[in-house]
Structure formats: structure tokens, C-alpha cells
Chains A and B, each alone.
Chain A
Amino acid sequence: SQTIHQWPATLVQPVGSPLSLECTVEGTSNPNLYWYRQAAGRGLQLLFYSVGIGQISSEVPQNLSASRPQDRQFILSSKKLLLSDSGFYLCAWSDTQGSPLHFGNGTRLTVT
């Protein structure tokens, strides 16, 4: 069966520090991968999605970036965090576009 791992679960970082969140999927090949952000009490905002290695599409301009160095690995990064980057970051995968999304457990990021 397929599983998705996301870490860390929680993270507290100072403004201006770098960020690296990692997500891996097991039990499937060539999944579509997504990064979503959820501000406190708000909806799910799509940040990046990828349909294959090295193929990244950005949905919202920001100081974040994403990379997919391996088929089942998706990384969210920032060189300098802003206070507004605080939120709940969710990685997700799907078999194809327009099929069910399976979310990881999320990373709660607090930028201080």
C-alpha cells in the first residue's frame, strides 16, 4: 500500500533563517506531488505541484521554492523565512491529475 511521510511535524524558526521540509512517498511510482499551505483557521492554498522529476510548477509567487530530486521525493525550501510564512504545510500525492489527493500529516511551521 502507498504511504506518505512528511517531516518534521513541528518547526520553530527565526525570521530570515532557511527552511527545508521534506516529503517522500512509498508504494507508487511517478506520482503527482503537491505542497499546500494552510494559515490558521483558513483554507488550503496550493503552492507547488510536480508531475515528474525536475518538473515543478508554482502557483503563487513567494519566497518559497520546491524541488523534486527523485521520483518520490518533494522538498519545500526557503532561503529567508518571513513571519507570513508561518502555517501548516501539507504535502500530498495523487496517481494522476484529477484523482484523489492523499495528504501527509503536515508540518506546523512557526516563524518568530
Chain B
Amino acid sequence: GENVEQHPSTLSVQEGDSAVIKCTYSDSASNYFPWYKQELGKRPQLIIDIRSNVGEKKDQRIAVTLNKTAKHFSLHITETQPEDSAVYFCGPTDSWGKLQFGAGTQVVVTP
């Protein structure tokens, strides 16, 4: 099955700085790479995703980059704000098309 690892497990950044989270996966058949944000006590929500035919995608302060050869993709958040504080999960699809999530990264943005 898919082996998904996320780094770092916790990330503390100053407001206005950038944050980068990396997700590595093992299944070369994976072709869909989403990132989810989960605020405390709430459900995860999709913030950005990318498919295997695209190397980078950007949506305002959020971007995702994909390196399919190396089997990793990363979430980039620029100009971080306190409301970016949350747990972020990557969830590449396995060869059956199911999302298998990483362990999550706790991001804390300090004013």
C-alpha cells in the first residue's frame, strides 16, 4: 500500500514568514495530490490540489509543487497569518485511487 510521510510534524513561524511542508509517498501510480487544512475540532477542508500532469499550482498565498520522479510534493504558504494556524494533511491517492493521508503537520503562526 501507499506509504505517506509528512515533514515537519510541527512548524512554528513568525507572522509574515513563509511555511513549507513536504509530503513523500511510495506508490508510483499516485496521480492526485491534495492538501487539507484542519482547524481544531473541525473537519478537514481541501485547500489546494494538483494532478500528475502539472508541476506547480498556485492560489493566492498557497502553492503546491510536485516532483513525481522523486515522489514528493510540497505545500508552500507565503505571508503567513494567524488564521493559517492549523493542522495540514497531505493525501496522495494510492494505486486504487483512495486518499491515504500523512500524519499531519501542526502549523503555529505567532504574531
Among candidates A43, A102, A106, residue contacting B101 with C-beta atoms closer than 8 Å:
A43
Interface flags for A76-112 (1: CB within 8 Å of B; 0: not) read 0000000000000010000011111111111000000
| Smallest beta-carbon distance A91→chain B, Å | 10
Q: How far is the CA of A96 from the CA of B93 in the complex (A)?
A: 12
A49 close to chain B: CB less than 8 A: yes
How many B residues, CB 8 Å from partner?
22
**B89 touching A98 by the CB < 8 A rule?**
no
**A96 touching B97 by the CB < 8 A rule?**
yes
A44 close to chain B: CB less than 8 A: yes
Among candidates B96, B97, B103, residue contacting A43 with C-beta atoms closer than 8 Å:
B103
Known: A43-B102, A43-B104, A44-B89. A101 touches B97 (CB 8 A): no
| Smallest beta-carbon distance A43→chain B, Å | 4
* B interface secondary structure, majority: loop
B81 close to chain A: CB less than 8 A: no
Q: Which residues of A contact B93 (CB under 8 A)?
A: 97-98
Among candidates A36, A98, A101, residue contacting B31 with C-beta atoms closer than 8 Å:
A98
Known: A98-B31, A98-B32, A101-B91. A44 touches B97 (CB 8 A): no
Among candidates B44, B46, B96, B100, residue contacting A90 with C-beta atoms closer than 8 Å:
B44
Q: How far is the CA of A105 from the CA of B39 in the complex (A)?
A: 12
**A101 touching B103 by the CB < 8 A rule?**
no
Q: How far is the CA of A42 from the CA of B106 in the complex (A)?
A: 10
B99 close to chain A: CB less than 8 A: yes
A46 close to chain B: CB less than 8 A: yes
Known: A42-B103, A43-B89, A43-B104. A100 touches B46 (CB 8 A): yes
Residues of A whose CB lies within 8 Å of any CB of B are: 34, 36, 42-46, 49, 59, 90, 96-106
The 18 listed contacts between A and B (C-beta, < 8 Å) are A43-B101, A43-B103, A44-B91, A44-B104, A46-B101, A90-B43, A90-B44, A96-B97, A97-B96, A97-B98, A98-B31, A98-B97, A100-B34, A101-B34, A101-B44, A101-B46, A104-B43, A106-B43
